[in-house]
Amino acid sequence: MAESSHPRLSRLAHTVLQPGFEGTTVPDWVRRRISEGLTSVVLFARNIHGPEQVAALTTALYAENPALVVAVDEEAGDVTRLEARTGASRPGNLALGTLDDIDITEQVARDVGRELHGLGITLNYAPSADVNTNPLNPVIGVRSFGSRTDVVSRHAAAWVRGLQSAGVAACAKHFPGHGDTVVDSHDGLPQVSADAGTLALTALPPFIAAMDAGVRAVMTAHLLVPAYDSRWPATLSRPVVGDLLRGELGFTGLVVTDAVEMGAVADRYGLTGAAVRAVAAGADAVCVGGAHADEATTARLADALVAAVTDGRLPERRLAEAAARVTEFAGWAGALRRRAPGPRDSPGIGLTAARRAVRVHHGPDRATEFPLVGTPHVVELSPATTLAIDPGTPWGVAEPLKTLRPGTTSVRLGERQLQDGDEVLERLALRPADGRPLVVVVRDAVRYGWMARALAGLVRRRPDALVVEMGVPAGERPGAVYLATHGATRVSGIAAAEVLVGRTGPS
């Protein structure tokens, strides 16, 4: 094997990998690879069952290497690993950007940081610094602070300050900006068509703001930006990573790839080809293990990096430089971890922020009783979510409404269940008995033709319906009353339910 015949190169190769693994305890193969130079691991929802278990897991990892980087993808909001089983207790970026109170954003990020710090996690792949200029974006959406560059810039900086003040390193993503895309990079290769001048004014400022706020890690995006490089996706592009990020913007910290098993790069260059090219282009750490969380994958990637050096495709000095940056970052993040995070700003800040982010619009049918007087029937239209969101993460308004208004009934339907069209809509709109309010809950209705059609059909049949949008609100605001939560977190659902029954006042 390349590893055994080139021990120094093998150690360097292990240093630049950031793999995931299965299970809630440290596998033997991870211990083995740490002894061979592995300097980072990534935790996913599958590794997280509770605070005591996670703390024991990270303690065991640090026993193998006290300077290890333990990373997680905890954006709060819809993308949560810590609360994938319960739904997030903090609103996501779009809710914070809508609220547009940087003190609240900093407090929420600090609250996330305190929790991560207590669990022994040193690097968080957050915040998203993408400007979501395209409402049809299938992978960013509510993960962005909004569609305005100035809003995203100030809140990305606040998120960095808040998280790092609690002793956890932040990572701004997805460079050079994933906001103006219509393809999910988990599945295919998105392309950004804007010219360099436009990108400099719209997409890059949030990353600059994050750097000014002290961010020491940036994650690259798997997308093609012809304004910078017409051949290679950004993660694999020397003009993007070396010339733009390092040269023009002067970033000297850690460059991390988005997961290299994602379709945008793995389908074109293979897992090992993408990893080698990314390091050659200037990336320092290769993230892998969402779907390939095993020793064989880690060994293949380490072997591929060693082989690329020996056959001249990857300069040894570039691999050594990447490994040195990972080691330097690990030392800095470890020192950050050893700092006390300080007292909590405000317990319950997540629900407070979610409540303040709800927006209510009244339609022409003023006869609808609002807040709700009777017990409603709730119809939730459920889309397939991006792979960035754990599929079992709870969301919606029906369950909190059942707590606040006993007797509430509900049904949740996806595209397949609505294939019978008008017949299903008739049953949904006319059931239950006359006189009960109808609440229709959607998630990014503008992006799904079937959902938009179903919503329109339900509102035609029940013009008194109340509509709750838990994704990106865009286009028309149907219904007698239209609520926008700007995210589908657990606390966003609670906040919407409270407004519907009059527990809290709408914004």
More confident residue, 432 or 296: 296
Residue 448 CB contacts under 8 Å (≥ 6 apart), including other chains: 383, 415
Q: What are the pLDDT digits (tens) for 250-274?
A: 999 999 999 999 999 999 999 999 9
Mean pLDDT of the chain: 93
Residue 389 — pLDDT band, cuts 50, 70, 90? confident
* Residue 7 burial (CB count, 10 A): 12
- Look at residue 392 in the predicted model and tell me its pLDDT: 87
Tokens 């024991």, residue located: 56
Q: Is 292 a catalytic residue?
A: no
Residue from 256, 324, 242 nearest 286 by CA: 256
Give the pLDDT confidence of 390-403 residue by residue, as tens digits: 888 999 999 999 99
Whether 337 has a pLDDT exceeding 50, the answer reads: yes
Q: Report pLDDT digits (tens) over 474-497.
A: 888 999 999 999 999 999 999 999
Domain formed by 12-336, architecture: Alpha-Beta Barrel (3.20)
Catalytic residue, chosen from 258, 284, 303, 444, is 258
Residues 6+ apart with CB under 8 A from 254: 171, 216, 217, 218, 284, 285, 325, 326, 329
Q: Is the pLDDT of residue 106 over 80?
A: yes
| CATH number of 358-501, picked from 1.10.8.60, 3.40.1710.10, 1.10.238.10, 3.40.50.1700 | 3.40.50.1700
Please state the rounded mean pLDDT for residues 282-299.
Answer: 92
Return the beta strands (E) in 286-345 as ranges: 286-288
According to DSSP, the β-strands at 123-124 and 172-175 are unpaired
Helix (H, G, I), strand (E, B) or coil at 381: strand
Is the pLDDT reported for residue 179 higher than 50? yes
Confidence (pLDDT) at 1 = 43
> What is the mean pLDDT of the segment spanning 365-390?
86
Q: Residue 423 above 70 pLDDT?
A: yes
The answer on pLDDT for 42 being more than 90 is yes
Strand order in the sheet with 40-43: 40-43, 69-72, 123-124
Task: Report the 10 Å Cβ neighbour count for 193.
Answer: 11
Average pLDDT over residues 294-317: 97
pLDDT at 245: 98
CA distances from 272 to 12, 16, 120, 224, 323 (A): 16, 13, 30, 19, 17
Domains in the chain: boundaries: 12-336, 358-501
pLDDT tens-digit series, residues 425-476: 887 776 555 678 999 999 999 999 999 999 999 999 999 999 999 999 988 8
Q: Is 186 a catalytic residue?
A: yes
Nearest to residue 20, comparing CAs of 9, 12, 11, 29? 29
CA distance 488 to 220: 26
d(CA 455, CA 381): 8
331: its two tokens: 């030392």
pLDDT of 343 > 90? The answer is: no
Of the residues 155, 174, 178, 186, only one is catalytic, namely: 186
Confidence label for 338 from pLDDT (cuts 50, 70 and 90): confident
Asked if residue 380 lies in contact with residue 411, where contact means CB atoms within 8 angstroms, the answer is yes
Of these ranges, 1-10, 315-324, 368-377, 381-390, the one predicted with the greatest mean pLDDT is: 315-324
Max distance between CA atoms of the chain, in angstroms, equals 79
123 in helix, strand or coil?
strand
Span 28-39, pLDDT tens digits:
999 999 999 999
Of the listed ranges 173-182, 381-390, 421-430, the one predicted with least confidence? 421-430
